[in-house]
Chains A and B, each alone.
Chain A
Amino acid sequence: MSNGGAKPIHVIVLGGGTAGWMAATGVAVMLGEQVRVTLVESEDIGIVGVGEATLPHLRSFVESLGINESDFMRETHATYKLGIDFRDFGKIGDSYIHPFGSFGEELAGISFHHYWLAAQQRGDAGPISDYSMGVAAAVANRFRPPANDHTLGSAYGYAYQFDATLFGPYMRTFAISKGVERIEGKVIEVQKDTETGNVTTLLLDNGQCINGDLFVDCSGFRSMLLGEAVGAEWEDWSHWLPCDRAVAMPCAAASEIIEPYTRAIAMPAGWRWRIPLQHRVGNGYVYASSFIDDEKAADAIVAAVEGTSLADPRILKFRAGRRKNSFVKNVIGVGLASGFLEPLESTSIYLAQMAITYLIELFPKDGKIENADRAEFNRLVDMEYDRIRDFLILHYHATTRDDSPFWDHVRTMQVPDSLAGKIELWKRTGRIAKYSEGLFYDASWIAVFLGQNILPNGIDPRVSVPDPGGMARALSSLKHAIDMEVATMPDHRAYLHSRSERLAPQL
């Protein structure tokens, strides 16, 4: 449907990284003729592009844009992802998988983990991971898309592990095919309307003047429009999330096995990722520069990787926090320009997607931006960031590690009140504060609490009502059913290779 012949709203996206091309594509495809989308990028400015692991939400995003999954997987060298294997977080030697999915099933209105905790005390239960389809399939290195019914075969979700440096360009090709105009150039000046304070024009180094109605800032950490031009204040969270650098180094796959999960392995001054793609493995050490220097961090990642390295270690700098407002005047920050949370739970691309989705929902149809729309956008973005922040802090704080100054710091630091309350509720009662909005729900919190050895003192009183023998049998039959179901699933690599259209050519 046309917008009645009115002049389209000119949306300028600044920055051609992952967030920029996602934003340009989303706005252009979802809003059609109401908008004209121009993206300004410079080949001289590198992109961060290390977010190689994603969350299941990305699937609905690419689907709603009309992107074919196989196509997308081939072009980004993607593999399937069932969760994240966290190692050495609660203490050295620990390992647990945070799956896309839950553990067991609710019974008589009481969450499974209460029964499991009681059974475990009696010696009647295996580890909680025995009762999760997502975990069982992941450790077996098996994959098949979940069934679309209410059987066990539907009780997990999946996302992708892909090469983020390829995702941006893939979206670029797609966006241009959908009418997004790309302009090469470096912004040398941002002009504002003296009366309204709105951004009006970007002046480029090649002399071009880019005028627009709405500016989406995807310029990365520099936050050239949101931070610099309209002055959105930064809220620093580095006292809770001290990691401020990463050293990334891809390597060749050292084995035939392609794990359908990402690994996050705790290190003396942070953690490192290991992300299996189709033909290589992404690696990187996320660390706090106040606890380790760059050279030592690079040495550590070189020492840790299993396969032949494919590039020299590359260092990235960042800081945890977000802008107090991400929609100011006529500027909307998406991605790093708006905020940053380290990729411990693969949330970077989700955060960009979330902001784009809210922008589309609240898009000013007639070009006139109401304060109410800015306020609503900022409320939603803050809520998303704040809830993820608490969940990330938990991974560091829930530990007994005292082997390095970094872990001493995060173990003993004062956490936000909002998190302290959630931890205390869990410790006293085994309950999870319930939210239906935001990203991580009860199953995720339970995975991390239990995986990092934070056990509640008290659990639901009703679990002492059923007969323990019956409960033990039910647990054992659930584990058996999960094992049987997983046994019918193909190997991840075999499934991936079963259709050549999703495979990138061998490099």
Chain B
Amino acid sequence: MNHAAQPRELPHAILVVGDGQVGILTAIALRQALPTTTVTVIPSPADHAAFADRIGTAMPFTNRLHDRLGISEMDLVQRAGASHRLVTRYRGWASETHEGISGYGSGNPALGNAFTGHFEAVRSPGRAAEARILTPAAALAATGRFCPPDGDPNSPLATIDYALRWNVEAYRNLLIAKAMQLGIQYAPKLPADVQYSARGDIAAVILDDHAGAIAADLFIDCSGPMRWLMSRMAGATLDSWRENLPCDRVLIAAPGEPVLALEDRMTLTPHGWLNEIGGRDGVQRIFAFPASLGSADAEAHLIGAGASAAIAAAIHPGALVRPFVGNVVALGDAAASFEPIGGTNLDLAHRQLSLLLELLPGRNVEPREREEYNRRAELMASSLRDWLTSHYAALGMPGTPFTARVSQLTYSPSFNLLIDMHRRHGRMPFFEEAPVLPSEWSAMLLALGISSSPSAHALAQSAERNRSLTQQAENAARAAVDAAPPYGEWLESVLPQPGV
């Protein structure tokens, strides 16, 4: 035993810049991991494009992170207006009348890719919208029935995965209460400047109003795309996604009327897309579009959908090449800024946070460890970029201004690979650190109307086996519907004060 394997020195202090839902959850996670470390949160200047802070939804990964941090889903339902999204309905992407549905999870592993391939194979070309086979999640969303799986592996609901949406303010208040219990410090002063150490790391952040300075070993930038800390670090460079993604303007409407639905909608319009996220306290409507198309149509669409008083945000799509520089880590929109599709901004923030927890530095940052963090974070960002690009791979509405803009996009080599493999072989290549499972990704492509032809292996399956798989899938969908109560009834049964 030639070396002494000693635990590295714990960080004494960590400062989180940004007090939105990302910053506070980050502080909670760090404090729980490092109970002897002083964790302080300060606000950052308001940034309209900090979507991970402003939009109250994420992806299924967040549920796992919440579990791990002791944030119970039931608390979110009871105190933060949370509801469940089982599927997203895409409308108008492949044609004016197109509709497609995709959900989460690997589905029934026994059905696998052979089934996906078959699903496509049995669809006759002219009837693409008439999907005969429903997944359990789609069947539940269509019938409005659901309750979260109770952990019984034999339940027909056991394989269903879902995302939550919530009321941002109530969720943030719930996090603040937890942060206070954990002894996290809060300094309600904006940052004014930084002090550097001799080697160019940040030593302290100087607060506004002569409120002093906060020194720390590690600094977390949760300030959104303004990158309050990162913009002060030499070596933080941006990989622009302007050539890969079409939208750089986003309108977020004031919350609308309450909507209790198990599905959200993504609608393509001639000028951009409209995401409608259901919510018990009010529907969230988001419209994204290219600046070159002007905001008049975007506003008209939101008003047409019943929304008012939109917040306008400009984005510069792109990701930091290295989101961990010196002793500063950028999370969420500070690390990558992009059009907010389906809760992915917050999902990315949470996956990065989870990566940081996995590779948590000691008081001194080890360069190799930082490199490993950056390697994996870069994979996260590039596969997310490809996932976002997927939405634009086959728009079926020729002649619209948006389609014209989309036609100018360039695709990354990895994106070209995946779309080609999907189309010709019904196959989804594996991407390390991808935002979704391969099965979720191919389901989404199919829902967007990007068809695939079955693999040679799928074609070799017997008609009998295919019939049996179809039957299994239909049975699974039916069993799920039979096992679940109407969603509203379930909600009433768990809410402390039954709803109106």
- Residue positions of A touching B, CB distance < 8 A: 1, 3, 30-34, 108-109, 114, 117-118, 120-121, 360-365, 370, 372-373, 376, 421, 424-425, 427-431, 433-437, 453, 455-465
Residues of chain A within 8 A of B3, CB atoms compared: 427, 455-457
Are B372 and A34 in touch, CB under 8 angstroms? no
Q: For B368, give its contact among A30, A117, A429 (CB under 8 Å).
A: A429
A435 to B361, CA, bound (A): 20
A463 to B417, CA, bound (A): 42
A505 to B236, CA, bound (A): 69
Residues of chain B within 8 A of A109, CB atoms compared: 33, 68, 357-358
Residues of chain B within 8 A of A121, CB atoms compared: 4-6
Are A34 and B459 in touch, CB under 8 angstroms? yes
Are B459 and A1 in touch, CB under 8 angstroms? yes
A-B contacts, 25 of them at CB < 8 A, read A3-B459, A31-B456, A31-B459, A34-B460, A114-B7, A120-B5, A360-B456, A362-B425, A364-B456, A370-B424, A372-B420, A372-B421, A372-B424, A425-B368, A425-B369, A428-B369, A435-B432, A456-B5, A461-B8, A461-B9, A461-B11, A461-B360, A462-B360, A463-B7, A465-B36
Are B461 and A437 in touch, CB under 8 angstroms? no
Are A118 and B369 in touch, CB under 8 angstroms? no
Bits for B356-371, please: 1 = Cβ < 8 Å to A, else 0: 0111111100101101
Q: In the complex where A1-B462, A461-B11 touch, is A429 in contact with B456 (Cβ < 8 A)?
A: no
B interface, by DSSP: helix, strand, loop or mixed?
loop
A365 to B455, CA, bound (A): 8
Are A429 and B366 in touch, CB under 8 angstroms? yes
Are A459 and B7 in touch, CB under 8 angstroms? yes
A370 to B417, CA, bound (A): 12
Q: Check: B429 CB closer than 8 A to any chain A CB.
A: yes
Residues of chain B within 8 A of A34, CB atoms compared: 456, 459-460
Q: Check: B470 CB closer than 8 A to any chain A CB.
A: no
Are A363 and B10 in touch, CB under 8 angstroms? no
Q: Check: B405 CB closer than 8 A to any chain A CB.
A: no
CB distance from A365 to the nearest CB of B (A): 5
Residues of chain B within 8 A of A362, CB atoms compared: 425, 427
Instruction: Closest A residue to B362 by CB, please name it.
Output: A461
Residues of chain A within 8 A of B463, CB atoms compared: 1
Q: For A361, give its contact among B357, B425, B460 (CB under 8 Å).
A: B425
A211 to B3, CA, bound (A): 62
Are A431 and B421 in touch, CB under 8 angstroms? no
Q: Check: B1 CB closer than 8 A to any chain A CB.
A: yes
Bits for B366-381, please: 1 = Cβ < 8 Å to A, else 0: 1011011001100000
A51 to B460, CA, bound (A): 31
Which B173-227 residues sit within 8 Å CB-CB of chain A? none
Q: In the complex where A376-B421, A464-B7 touch, is A30 in contact with B457 (Cβ < 8 A)?
A: yes
Bits for B432-459, please: 1 = Cβ < 8 Å to A, else 0: 1000000000000000000001011101
Are A117 and B35 in touch, CB under 8 angstroms? no
Residue of A428, A431, A433, A458 with highest tally of chain B CB at under 10 A: A458
CB distance from A41 to the nearest CB of B (A): 25
CB distance from A345 to the nearest CB of B (A): 22
Residues of chain A within 8 A of B363, CB atoms compared: 461
Are B460 and A33 in touch, CB under 8 angstroms? yes
Are B369 and A431 in touch, CB under 8 angstroms? yes
A360 to B420, CA, bound (A): 16
CB distance from B405 to the nearest CB of A (A): 27
A421 to B68, CA, bound (A): 31
Q: In the complex where A1-B466, A34-B459 touch, is A458 in contact with B368 (Cβ < 8 A)?
A: no
Q: Check: B34 CB closer than 8 A to any chain A CB.
A: yes
- Residue positions of B touching A, CB distance < 8 A: 1-11, 33-36, 68, 121, 357-363, 366, 368-369, 371-372, 375-376, 417, 420-421, 424-425, 427, 429-430, 432, 453, 455-457, 459-463, 466
Residues of chain B within 8 A of A424, CB atoms compared: 368
Q: For A464, give its contact among B2, B10, B358, B459 (CB under 8 Å).
A: B10
Residues of chain B within 8 A of A372, CB atoms compared: 417, 420-421, 424
Are A108 and B2 in touch, CB under 8 angstroms? no
CB distance from A390 to the nearest CB of B (A): 15
Residues of chain B within 8 A of A360, CB atoms compared: 456-457
Are B368 and A455 in touch, CB under 8 angstroms? no
In addition to A361-B457, A462-B360, 17 A-B residue pairs with Cβ atoms within 8 Å of each other are: A1-B121, A109-B33, A118-B7, A121-B6, A360-B457, A361-B427, A365-B455, A365-B456, A424-B368, A434-B372, A436-B432, A455-B2, A456-B3, A456-B5, A457-B6, A458-B7, A458-B362
A502 to B449, CA, bound (A): 50
Residues of chain B within 8 A of A364, CB atoms compared: 456
CB distance from B358 to the nearest CB of A (A): 6
Q: In the complex where A363-B455, A429-B368, A455-B3 touch, is A437 in contact with B430 (Cβ < 8 A)?
A: yes
Are A465 and B457 in touch, CB under 8 angstroms? no
Residues of chain B within 8 A of A370, CB atoms compared: 420, 424
Are B456 and A421 in touch, CB under 8 angstroms? no
Residues of chain A within 8 A of B9, CB atoms compared: 461
Residues of chain B within 8 A of A455, CB atoms compared: 1-5
A436 to B462, CA, bound (A): 32
The 10 closest A-B pairs by CB, nearest first: A32-B460, A363-B456, A461-B362, A117-B5, A464-B7, A458-B8, A455-B3, A461-B8, A425-B368, A461-B10
Are B2 and A453 in touch, CB under 8 angstroms? yes
Instruction: Closest B residue to A457 by CB, please name it.
Output: B3
Residues of chain A within 8 A of B417, CB atoms compared: 372, 376
Q: For A1, give its contact among B34, B68, B427, B461 (CB under 8 Å).
A: B461
Are A453 and B1 in touch, CB under 8 angstroms? yes
A465 to B34, CA, bound (A): 8
Residues of chain B within 8 A of A427, CB atoms compared: 3
Residues of chain A within 8 A of B368, CB atoms compared: 421, 424-425, 428-429
CB distance from A419 to the nearest CB of B (A): 13
Residues of chain A within 8 A of B68, CB atoms compared: 109
